[in-house]
Amino acid sequence: MFTSVEDVSARLAETGYLASPAVATTVFLADRLGKPLLVEGPAGVGKTELAKAVAEVAGARLVRLQCYEGVDESRALYEWNHAKQLLRISAGREQSWDETRTDIFGEEFLLTRPLLTAIRGDDPKVLLIDETDKADVEIEGLLLEVLGDFQVTVPELGTITATRRPFVVLTSNATRELSEALRRRCLFLHIGFPEEELERRILRLKVPGLDEALAASVVRVVGALRAMDLRKVPSVAETIDWARTLLALGAGTLGEGVVRDTLGVLLKHQEDVLKAAAKLDLDAV
């Protein structure tokens, strides 16, 4: 898919995703080694966006499995369409049982869910397994087979092996420690907060009307907030929101009043707002 690491950066940038060297290198390796990519990091740094950008670059279909507590095999892998099967049985009353049986467990009655969808077919696909840590431990066992050998066993149909391996991205917010077995099958990538220079570039790309000096100031303030010991430090998504807010307010420069009034866009807890205001020497909020 990619020829070199620079190629990865350049083509991701075309889709509007500015990748740090670490991200570009790991995506390149995931493609080369044909291994799934496990992405961890704080919320709002673009873990899910990465999968979307890769899909766009590769001209592939994005298949997404959103994990949540209680997600199970029938939501993740496949399910038989029971209602349709019943209809088929009652429609063909005069047929023998043998005929019916081979018929109702055919492709027509199979509802494919994301994992199976990603494996079947010849077109290129990107499989995004989002928030893997939210799923139960049992699902991890299922993922092991899928991600290790890219195959799925359906008892009535046999084992389905991928003819073309999808590019797999798993994301996690680390609320639960994923099992060592799953980690071992993946390349690990931690996306942290970007460097100042990269964040400035992201801002200018995402908020086109922002002038350069203001972007630099915004990034510096956000950097200072991240160095504080807050409950929830602002992420890239919040930085972009803030820049948009400033733009909408028509604030050409970053003054004390503007920062004080808009701190709520960056910080989501009242105690954080108070703490940050104190550290930044803002007057009472």
Partner 1 sequence: MSAAAEPAAGTAEVAGRLAGFTGALRGHGIRIGTGESVDAARAVEALGLADRELLREGLAATLLHGTGQRAVFDQVFDLYFPRTVGGPEGPAAGREDLRDRLARALAADDAALMGRLAVEAVDGFGGYGSSPGADGWSAYQTLERLRPQTLLARVRASVRAGGGTGGGEGAPEEFTERLLDDEIRRRIELFRRQVGAEARRRVAERRGRQEIARRAVAPTADRVDFLYAGRDRVAELRRTVRPLARKLATRLAARRRRAARGSIDLRRTLRGSLSTGGVPVKPVLRRRRPVRPELVLLCDVSGSVAGFSDFTMLLVQALHDQFSKVRVFAFVNRIDEVTGLLRHGTADPEGLGARIQEEARLTGWHGSSDYGVALGEFAERYADVVGPRTTVFVLGDARTNMADPNLPALREIAGRARRVYWLNPEPRAQWGTGDSAAPDYAGEVGMHECRNARQLGAIVSRLLPV
Q: Give the residues lining the site for partner 1 (CB under 8 A).
A: 5, 21-22, 25-26, 28-30, 32-33, 35, 40-41, 174-177, 180, 183-184, 187-190, 212-214, 216-217, 220-221, 223-224, 227, 229, 231, 253-256, 259, 271, 280-281
Q: Which two tokens stand for residue 2?
A: 């990619």
Shortest reach from residue 133's CB to partner 1, in Å: 9
Q: Which is nearer to partner 1, 88 or 232 (CB)?
A: 232
Shortest reach from residue 206's CB to partner 1, in Å: 20
Q: Which two tokens stand for residue 205?
A: 């790309």
Shortest reach from residue 157's CB to partner 1, in Å: 30
Shortest reach from residue 154's CB to partner 1, in Å: 28
The residue assigned the tokens 């073309």 is 164
Q: What one-letter code names the amino acid at 132?
A: T
Q: Which is nearer to partner 1, 118 or 214 (CB)?
A: 214
Q: Which is nearer to partner 1, 79 or 261 (CB)?
A: 261
Q: Which is nearer to partner 1, 115 or 246 (CB)?
A: 246
Question: Nearest 5°: phi and psi at 252?
Answer: -80, -30
Q: Which is nearer to partner 1, 126 or 214 (CB)?
A: 214
| Bridge partners of residue 125, in order along the sequence | 61
Residue 168: its H or E element: strand 167-172
Shortest reach from residue 152's CB to partner 1, in Å: 22
Q: Which is nearer to partner 1, 35 or 244 (CB)?
A: 35
- Signed CA dihedral, 8, 14, 15, 19: sign only: positive
Shortest reach from residue 59's CB to partner 1, in Å: 22
Q: Which is nearer to partner 1, 26 or 117 (CB)?
A: 26
User: Which candidate, 186, 184, 274, 199, places its Cα nearest to that of 45?
Assistant: 199
Shortest reach from residue 253's CB to partner 1, in Å: 4
Reading phi first (left if > 0) and then psi (alpha if -120 to 50, else beta), residue 37 is in: beta
CB of 58 closer than 8 Å to CB of 12: no
d(CA 5, CA 39): 18
Q: Which two tokens stand for residue 34?
A: 């044909």
Q: Which two tokens stand for residue 230?
A: 């807050």
